Structure 1
Amino acid sequence: MARRAVRGPAGGGVPGWVSPMLAGPDGGRLREGPEWAYEYKLDGYRACMRVAADGTTVLTSRNEVDFTDEFADLAGVLTEALDGRSAVLDGEIVVYNDAGQIDFGLLQERRGRYQTHRSSARRDEPFDDVPVRFLAFDLLHLGGTSLLREPYDERRRQLTLLPMPDPYRVEVVRGFTFTDLVADRRTPQYLLEHVKASGHEGLVAKLRTAAYTPGRRGNAWLKHPLIQTTEVIVCGYRPGQGRLNGVMGGLLLGAHDPGTGDLVYVGDVGTGFTEAERSRLQARLDILERKRHPFAVTPPRADTARAHWVKPELVGEVVYRQFTRGAGRLRHTAWRGLRDDKEPAEVLAPQRREAVSAKARPGTSSRDAARPREQAQGEPVIGDQPAASPVAGAKIAVQAGRRRLTLSNLDKVLYPDGFTKGEVINYYSRIAPVLLPHLAGRPVTFIRFPDGVGGEQFFEKNVPHGAPSWLPTVRIARSGARGSGEPITYALLDELAAVVWAANMAALELHVPQWTVDGDGVRRPPDRLVFDLDPGPGTSIVHCCGVAERLRDALTEDGLTPLAKTSGSKGMQLYCAITTDDSAAPSAYAKKLAQRLVRETPDLVTAVMAKAQRSGRVFIDWSQNNPAKTTVAPYSLRGRDHPTVSTPITWDEIRACRRPAQLVFTADDVLERVDDHGDLLADLDTTRAALP
């Protein structure tokens, strides 16, 4: 298709093209709070409508393909409304079906007919039987003035002030603010249900204070789809058989690995095609045929029997139910159509967090899948079925196990990416069954973030004033030089309600020692050995994995069984369950083993905390075994930019790690992992052995 990159002369010419701002995935968590607005997620072709002062209109796709001739009936619609002003609008070209729903399939059918006829005598066919509509959702320029730096609210206000002379051809997408919904006693979840019932694809949450950033994908616009779709690159096909003889039977699909950029095989699709579309696709595939596959790694032979390979130039879209973690394959796919408005270089394989929403009930974000439910007579119950979101800023009484708690400020954002206090409580309530065994009998040190990550944070060992009377505590004498001071009264988190109470205090991080206390509060000898692997400048968790494998070999030789988890930050920890009567013995053993690795590879490992010694090396922190020290608990959140979690991992994952992102897990990721695999540290206490 011809590109017409109209940049437009100054004055009365057509305004220049603006590369579209892009929405990122929300990880299955529809953002909530007064700072957010919501628009329908549209299922069409993204387009920039540029209108000159004289009404001359140019339509340009997101990758700067000229759409003007193809959708000629959209030109000039806004001439009267703009009253001599130029304008640039961002929006989507869509087609509606007879049921009044946006239908991407009909748009694809119309596009196929246009491509077939554009070189023939019928190239000006009006397509009156399949009318299109431009749904505008942003105003970027008006009357020669750029609005790009204006906040969303102001751009939206000016857009809605424009008259729409023919709303059947050009109209403004309906929008909702969180504040408006609350005023109507509605929630974003209610809006999602309405979106689902009306046949829309989902919602896009937009930060009301955000400027328009051309060509960028950030956290200011976040898409929440009700169905999972992804772009794919057509890399080959299998010839049809039987009634499909002579046309393609199924397509072999590729996408670029988000980490390496390599073109990788992601599966196939054989359903969702009309007969006409199969024929049109076959004609285009014939032109692109090549002898070898285009992938960086050869796909499995079983998947590529009878394959014909093509140049990876066509982009399509599929619906899918699952993207498998290990093999990296799209499962249960159906074809939606070609996307000539997108370039192959833009197509990335789905990432782990985008698959999370598939586990949520349609119309419900995964973070809400275990929000408090309303009892028939009484307060909501934590840790069971979903319920509507509480009104912003309100207090809510909940039943957590056998305790009744009051939670507050659930809408308060605690993480820069929008993760709220309500989501923190939701995570801890759902992860409690596997978290609690790792806290049992261990005094907890909290790191609290009352104003969220980025605000003031503080360690809290003593149980704060106002703690519930039922919370078990233990008084322990101070260690070291301060040992003569007042004993510390620690909290013991031994039930769901205690974990929820801590989360309600914005205690994002939970840290515990390598020893427990008995029923009388007497400290027992250490029962866990820990190695904390901390990557220095110039290294990452990938380098930690190499050190972890060496430590594993040494520990196994000594009769111990090491298990691993990420720190939730940059590094990782190895644990062994041990027996010893000497509280100083674990530190001595760990130090000796760390120093052995330093002697073997002094350029790769250090056992010295000094920063000058750590550049380009992994620091093996053996001192975490000191009875006075604590380590972040398994399944604890961390106070970082995103709600990352200290996550148990397998040795297969450690061996396979090539990029740091492979071992970064958020709260949603961890809940999914536990659903799939249970607690990967569950066997820790069953492998207990004497400390050498």
Structure 2
Amino acid sequence: MARRASDSDGADVPAWVKPMLAKPDSGRLREGPEWAYEYKLDGYRACMRIAPAGTTILTSRNGIDFTAEFADLAGVLTDVLEGRAAVLDGEVVVYNEAGQIDFGALQERRGRYQTHSTGRPGRPFEDVPVRFLAFDLLQLGTEQLQREPYDERRRLLTQLPMPDPFRISVVRAFTFTELAADRRTPQHLLEHVVASGHEGLVAKHRTSAYDPGRRSDAWLKHPLTQTTEVIICGYRPGQGRIAGRMGGLLLGAHDPDTGDLVYIGDVGTGFTEAERTRLRTRLDELTRQKHPFAVTPPREDTARAHWVKPVLVGEVEFRQFTRGAGRLRHTAWRGLRADRQPVEVLLPQQREPRDGASARTASRPIATPVTDAEERPTATVGLGSKITVQAGQRQLTLSNLDKTLYPDGFTKGEVINYYSRIAPVLLPHLAGRPVTFIRFPDGVTGEQFFEKNVPQGAPAWLPTVRLARSGSRGTNGAITYALLEELGALVWAANLAALELHVPQWTVAGDGLRRPPDRLVFDLDPGPGTSIVHCCRVAERLHDILSDDGLAPSAKTSGSKGMQLYCAITTDDPAAPSVYAKKLAQRLARETPDQVTAVMAKAQRTGRVFIDWSQNNPAKTTIAPYSLRGRDHPTVSTPITWDEVHGCRRSAQLEFTADDVLDRVDKVGDLLAELDDTRTALP
């Protein structure tokens, strides 16, 4: 097992230096001649201390002695140092067969070491060789280098011969000036990082000293995936094929303001079978009767939980940390971190407003591929306050892409990226329908406003339709609506921070005249004390009635608290859908007055689901399928299956963010794609 390093292990071994740490760069990779760039490594941070006689001690970032575990790294530099002491900062890594750094393989090796360490301490694992990648030199001989500038420390480090680069080598660094001389930029380097499988880049200020134990603005890390340390607080036993092993871990972290240990979600993927077995054995030795959190987690999240002492630290990948719920979303296990202490584990950092671009944006262009090479919005100017992209046939200038629009850090660039990628399935639901925008220029926590009229400065190529206001005659008070029927129009709207897209249940003809309604909609709005779970029960009843009437209902979430049902219809009477929908809503309200109301008055909604039939009025609009919503995090109005409706028992089951929906569409396509094929005459 790991133990604390002690200088008594070697009297002439230099003292341990607590490592300098990098700050997150909030998604903005720094540029300029004052910066150098190194690969962000995916291993165990280690300080290598070498005595003049060659005695070597490896120490983790929190003082754990790694020497015995990585014994094959000892003595490699003894001869080339020629009797001089040295202190190197670096990372212990494992490479896989593809030549990429593989943290999972390092974790697997560590698990085997811990299992067998009692019987064979210090014995190397020849089938999983490790390598020490050095990126800083803190002492050479008797000379202390910590106050020397980065460039000088790097110069001395690179002058050290590396007699066995398969065991110890120097991480390559690139200065901004060297890149520019090759007509390359840090963004080009980042593309290479993506292709080669590295974890990201660290930008280091070339004049900076080494500041032990400090997280400094002089070192800024730019990861391509979000990772965080977590405290293991419990587990669920495996079921089915993994019965008898660990099924999933329940995670915690400390609130930096109060110090409380709080529940932050779970992780159930990313484990090997052997890892599940090892973890189950280890966790069973740490069992406790009650959860360790300051506040009891939700009951639905902790079913079948076995609680453990919160002493083990692990690391997970995640896509999102929701501010309101305080939960990690889309987690995958990366492994235990013996080099971390539970007291170090804090809630994942919220990205700061100015530099809010996340790892998702950092690792790919703002406008990403949508269908094929001919429909690919591509950037022609580098990232900055403005960027020019080609979106289909249109060239657009986008601005303020790193502006945070959601409290969890989702940026304007990510909004545009989402709408670019979802366009193939979203655009058919907007075709021919005048769009009403809800814009959030300062983000969802700032002022919002409805916008029906096309704003000034709209591109000349944008199709529009001028329609009289409801109840008015002629063109007095007419509104000029935008029609979003191509990728460029969608990207243009997203650049206006038009997060929400609302459309009516009718389309316009080529001559600009309104067609009769072609969709029937029921908007199910949960009142206080109810949720989308209750909406699903009402939706099941509506499904049966509509089916009996010969209609084929489809469901989607609202992206907020409720859901909508749609039926494709034919009718010549614009008022008929509202009449029919009201009739059904009143019927359900009569049958179960304690569960359903057909009255809009808020006083009638407590404990009930309101069936809003009025959205069939030609003057009303409904949130479009696949539109974002202006809520605390970027949820989406998402088509769902009837199996999902029937199976819904928790609100979280039907909460989908932009990333969820992109993954979902990749797997199942557009669940509303065949809606129009089910068109039936309105009863």
Structure 2 length-normalised TM: 0.61
What's 1:195 paired with? 193
Secondary structure of 2:375's counterpart equals: coil
For residues 472-516 of structure 1, give each alpha carbon's deviation from its aligned partner in whole angstroms, at most 9, with x where no partner exists: 322222124899942112222233333233233332222111122
Question: Would the alpha carbon gap of residues 368 and 437 (structure 1) be closer, same or farther in structure 2, given more than 3 Å must change?
Answer: closer
Is 1:255 aligned to 2:255, yes or no?
no
Q: State yes or no: 1:662 paired with 2:653.
A: yes
Q: Does residue 224 in structure 1 map to residue 217 in structure 2?
A: no
Alignment-derived partner of residue 44 in structure 1: 43
User: 1:547: Cα distance to partner?
Assistant: 1.6
1:353-412 alpha-carbon deviations (Å, 9 max, x no partner): xxxxxxx99x95486641899xxxxxxx883276577331234252523xx333221624
Match of 1:542 in 2: 533
Cα distance change, pair 584–251 in 1 and its aligned pair in 2 (3 A): same
- In the TM superposition, 1:588-603 aligns within 5 A as 588-603=579-594
Contact 1:253 1:266 in 2 (8 A): no
Match for 1:614 among 592, 602, 605? 605
Match of 2:542 among 525, 545, 551: 551
Residues 589 and 598 of structure 2 are in contact (CA less than 8 Å); yes or no, is this contact kept in structure 1?
Answer: yes
Amino acid at match of 2:382: P
2:386 is the counterpart of 1:394 = yes
Q: Residue in 2 aligned with 1:142?
A: none
SS in 2 for 1:565: strand
Tell me, in whole angstroms, the C-alpha distance in 2 between the residues paired with 1:412 and 1:179: 25
Counterpart Cα distance in 1 of 2:635 and 2:271: 33
- Name which of 467, 484, 508 aligns with 2:458: 467
**Residues 449/270 of structure 1: CA separation in 2 closer, same or farther (3 Å cut):** closer
Task: Indicate the SS of the match to 1:575.
Answer: strand
Separation of aligned partners in 1, 2:682 and 2:489:
33
The offset of 1:603, in angstroms, is 2.6
Q: Distance in 1 between matches of 2:339 and 2:428?
A: 52
Pick closer, same or farther for the CA change 1:190–1:532 going to 2, 3 Å. Answer: same
Query: Identity of aligned pairs, percent?
Result: 59
Contact 1:41 1:223 in 2 (8 A): yes
Q: Is the 8 A contact 1:569 1:640 kept in 2?
A: yes
- Give 1:535 deviation, angstroms: 2.0
Is the Cα–Cα contact under 8 Å of residues 246 and 279 in structure 2 kept in the other structure? no
Are the structure 2 counterparts of residues 230 and 199 from structure 1 closer, same or farther at C-alpha, using a change threshold of 3 Å? farther
2:675 aligned partner, one-letter code:
L
Q: Is the 8 A contact 1:47 1:59 kept in 2?
A: yes
Secondary structure of the structure 1 residue equivalent to 2:607: coil
Note the 1:490-529 alignment, pairs <5 A: 490-529=481-520
Matches within 5 A, 1:323-334: none
Q: Deviations over 1:278-304 (max 9, x none)?
A: 9x979989x99xxxxxx9999xxxxxx
Which secondary structure does the structure 2 equivalent of 1:193 belong to?
Answer: helix
Matching of residue 408 in structure 1 with residue 398 in structure 2: yes
Residues 118 and 452 from structure 1, CA distance in 2 versus in 1: closer, same or farther, beyond 3 angstroms?
same
2:671 is the counterpart of 1:686 = no
Distance in structure 2 (CA, Å) of the matches to 1:633 and 1:157: 59
In 2 relative to 1, CA 101–406 (structure 1 residues): closer, same or farther, beyond 3 Å?
closer
CA distance, structure 2, for counterparts of residue 180 and residue 415 of structure 1? 36
Instruction: State the secondary structure of the residue aligned to 1:602.
Output: coil
The answer to whether the Cα contact below 8 Å between 1:187 and 1:389 also exists between their aligned partners in 2 is no
The letter of the residue matching 1:411 is L
AA paired with 2:92?
Answer: V
Shift of 1:585: 1.9
SS of the residue aligned with 1:396? Answer: strand
Residues 98 and 569 from structure 1, CA distance in 2 versus in 1: closer, same or farther, beyond 3 angstroms? Answer: closer
Aligned-pair CA distance for 1:429: 3.2
Q: Which of 565, 568, 575 lines up with 2:559 in the alignment?
A: 568
Query: Counterpart amino acid of 1:562?
Result: P
Deviation for aligned residue 1:170: 13
Give the whole-Å Cα distance in 1 for the aligned partners of 2:527 and 2:5. 48
User: Are 2:69 and 2:113, in contact at CA under 8 Å, matched by a contact in 1?
Assistant: no
Match of 1:304 in 2: none
Aligned 8 A contact 2:440 2:448 in 1: yes
Give the C-alpha shift of residue 184 in structure 1: 10
Distance 1:450 1:528 in 2: 31
Cα 1:231–1:436 change in 2 (3 A) is: same
1:475 partner amino acid: R
Shift, 1:653, TM fit: 1.5
Structure 1 residue identity aligned to 2:497: A
C-alpha displacement at 1:419, in angstroms?
3.6
Q: How does 1:425-464 map to 2 (within 5 A)?
A: 425-464=416-455
Residue number among 488, 511, 520 corresponding to 2:479 in the alignment = 488
Secondary structure of 1:598 counterpart: helix
2: CA distance between counterparts of 1:223 and 1:372?
27
Match of 2:208 in 1: none
Residue 166 to residue 485, structure 1, CA distance change in 2 (3 Å): same
Distance of 1:237 and 1:584 partners within structure 2? 54
**What's the TM-score, normalizing by structure 1?**
0.61
Aligned residue type for 2:646: R
Are 1:638 and 1:645, in contact at CA under 8 Å, matched by a contact in 2? yes
Deviation at 1:158, TM superposition (A): 12
Unaligned runs of 5+ in 1: 7-13, 50-56, 75-90, 137-155, 207-213, 215-219, 240-248, 289-294, 299-312, 320-329, 348-359, 374-380
Is the CA contact (8 Å cut-off) linking 2:230 and 2:313 kept in structure 1?
no
The reply on whether 1:623 has 2:621 as its aligned counterpart is no
Structure 1 counterpart of 2:517, which letter?
P
Partners of 2:203 and 2:555 in 1: CA distance: 37
**SS of structure 2 residue aligned to 1:517:** coil
What is the SS of the residue equivalent to 2:454?
coil
Q: Which whole-Å CA distance do the structure 1 matches of 2:240 and 2:505 have between them?
A: 58
> CA 1:59–1:606 in structure 2 vs 1: closer, same or farther (change >3 Å)?
farther
CA apart distance, 1:253:
5.5
- In 1, are the aligned partners of 2:107 and 2:335 still within 8 Å (CA)? no
SS at match of 1:523: coil
1:339 to 1:619, Cα distance in 2 relative to 1, 3 A: same
User: SS at 1:94's partner residue?
Assistant: strand
Secondary structure of 1:408's counterpart equals strand
The structure-2 alpha-carbon separation of the partners of 1:43 and 1:471, relative to structure 1 and needing over 3 Å to count, comes to closer
Task: Indicate conservation of the 8 Å contact 2:367/2:416, yes or no.
Answer: no
Paired with 1:114 and 1:559, the residues of 2 have a C-alpha distance of 65
- Output the CA distance in 2 between the equivalents of 1:203 and 1:552: 52
Q: CA deviation at 1:562?
A: 0.8
**Whole-angstrom distance in 2 between the partners of 1:638 and 1:181:** 41
Match of 1:353 in 2: none
Aligned partners of 1:44 and 1:93 also within 8 Å: yes
Whichever residue aligns with residue 224 of structure 2, its letter is H
What amino acid does structure 1 have at the position aligned with 2:198? H
* Number of residue equivalences: 554
Q: How much has 1:532 moved relative to structure 2?
A: 0.9
Could you give the per-residue CA deviations for residues 319-349 of structure 1, whole angstroms, max 9, x where no partner exists?
Answer: 9xxxxxxxxxx9xx9x9987666899x99xx
- Long gaps (5+) in structure 2: 7-14, 49-56, 74-88, 137-145, 161-166, 205-213, 215-219, 253-262, 286-300, 305-310, 318-329, 346-358
